[in-house]
Structure 1
Amino acid sequence: MESDDTLKLVLKCIDHEELGNLYALNKEITEDEKQSVIEYFRNYKPIDFKNIMNIEGNPHGWMCKEDDVPKVEKILNITETLEKQRLDQQQTQKELNRKRKIKDDAMGELESIFYKASRPNKFLKKLLKKAEIVYDPGDSYLTDHEFGEGQLFIIEKSYIWYIINNGRKDDDYTLNNIKTTGPGAVGFRIPYDEHVHDLIKLVSEENLYKGKQ
């Protein structure tokens, strides 16, 4: 992995009408190096573009066209080439997609398990106090419970709860069996199961609930 201060060309501006992608160096180079590539660069200003309203990014400064990128990279011996950056980004995205699929599959399994679970009436406040661990995926309950949204996984010694906040204006409150500070939530309970706990750790990334317990 190249360090962030490695010399490379980065996308700075996009001209959708004429020039396409324009690239700038990510850091200063010596005067001799500048002279060796000056023919491929232009010190752009907004007036140089046909339609400044159709520009993305920063239209100011020294930039080169995409066709000239390989020439500049060769002259300056740039190892973090634009092509390498793209391949690295593709690999990063591929890995993110792989991890997302694992989480999605785990969540699908959890939903199928809890779909058939019992739904006894309880107070959320009491469940939180009794809990050994409470997972809040993405802090969804902490940040969105006031808007009737968010989910929690509550781990007790003998049970596991899946709590789905059900307090938005268009939600059906008759489904709620968990008393909250709002309209309520739907709570599913199953006997403690280590595999289920592992699935919850995966989908929640072991993010613990940071609210009051």
Structure 2
Amino acid sequence: MADKDLKLETKCYDAMEYGYLYGLNKKIPDEEWEKVKPYMRKWKRMDFVEGNIKVTGRPEGYRCLEEDVPKVEEILGITNTLAKRRANIEEKMSDPIKKVQFKDQVYNWLTMLFKSGTQPKQDLSRLAIHSTKIYDPADGFKNGAEDGYGELFIYTPHGMWYIINNCSPGANKALNNLESKFGGAIGYRVMYEDTVDTLIRVYTEENEYTGPQLY
């Protein structure tokens, strides 16, 4: 009988060459592992361009490419497949009413997760320089940065950041832990997790930042 909890999840994102790499979310019996091992390459830091400078997440360990995910799922009899999870999201996003409700729920989850993270002092320009990708929900930062508004989600080799621009007239800048050319921002950092990555991609609709240079 298939393990309903077993699935392949993203372990890291490589901005230079491989994109997302996937790994199993739990240990499986050795005899099952041998069946999928041909697809599960053991990655090392040296396998990535520039070491792992442009990788967010945990690149080291047994991972498979996205193109091999269906093969591994079929061999192991995984029912909670990547395709099914994506179809479930697409179904909610395709209905205008469900989409609004779903994105509101996703945003609440995201803010809860990020606010349980850390708030180290940092410079937005440094995060941008070392980023693997930057999402800008509805172009809010692109269009509002100069006026002190907008949000960003920044993927870096040292974690994922939720940035809230906080330099509008009347803003409480004492809350800012990020310096920026616009006047400062609030930033929360968490380590890479498949769930957080999925929530970010849903909420932002994978809209990448195309606004003024951040450094």
TM-score tier by shorter-chain length is: 0.5 to 0.7
Give the corresponding residue for 1:115. Answer: 115
Give the corresponding residue for 1:149. Answer: 149
Contact 2:130 2:157 in 1 (8 A): no
What amino acid sits opposite 1:195 in the alignment? Answer: T
1:188 & 1:136 partners in 2: Cα distance?
15
1:194 & 1:178 partners in 2: Cα distance?
25
1:112 & 1:144 partners in 2: Cα distance?
24
Contact 1:119 1:177 in 2 (8 A): yes
Contact 2:176 2:185 in 1 (8 A): yes
Superposed CA deviations along residues 172-197 of structure 1, whole A, max 9, x for unmatched, are 00010111112200000011111101
Give the corresponding residue for 1:88. Answer: none
| Divergent runs of 4+, >6 A | none
What amino acid sits opposite 1:206 in the alignment? Answer: E
Give the corresponding residue for 2:206. Answer: 206
Give the corresponding residue for 2:177. Answer: 177
What amino acid sits opposite 2:104 in the alignment? Answer: D
Aligned-residue RMSD, C-alpha = 1.3
What amino acid sits opposite 1:122 in the alignment? Answer: Q
Q: Percent identity?
A: 33
What amino acid sits opposite 1:180 in the alignment? Answer: S
Give the corresponding residue for 2:187. Answer: 187
Q: CA deviation at 1:115?
A: 1.4
The 5-angstrom pairing of residues 18-97 of structure 1 reads: 95-97=95-97
Contact 1:156 1:192 in 2 (8 A): no
**Residue 190 of structure 2: SS of its match in structure 1?**
strand
Q: CA deviation at 1:106?
A: 0.6
Contact 1:135 1:154 in 2 (8 A): yes
**Residue 187 of structure 1: SS of its match in structure 2?**
strand
1:186 & 1:112 partners in 2: Cα distance?
15
1:102 & 1:113 partners in 2: Cα distance?
17
Contact 1:157 1:192 in 2 (8 A): no
Contact 1:119 1:187 in 2 (8 A): yes
Instruction: Give structure 1 stretches of 5+ with no counterpart.
Output: 1-93
2:125 & 2:161 partners in 1: Cα distance?
13
Q: CA deviation at 1:145?
A: 0.4
1:142 & 1:208 partners in 2: Cα distance?
10
Give the corresponding residue for 1:133. Answer: 133
Q: CA deviation at 1:157?
A: 3.1
Give the corresponding residue for 1:52. Answer: none
Q: CA deviation at 1:97?
A: 1.0
**Residue 182 of structure 1: SS of its match in structure 2?**
coil
CA distance 1:194–1:157, change in 2 (3 Å): farther
Aligned length: 120
What amino acid sits opposite 2:173 in the alignment? Answer: Y
Larger radius of gyration: 1
What amino acid sits opposite 1:112 in the alignment? Answer: M
1:188 & 1:173 partners in 2: Cα distance?
15
Considering Cα pairs closer than 8 Å and 6+ residues apart, tell me whether 1 or 2 has the greater RCO.
2
Instruction: Give structure 2 stretches of 5+ with no counterpart.
Output: 1-93
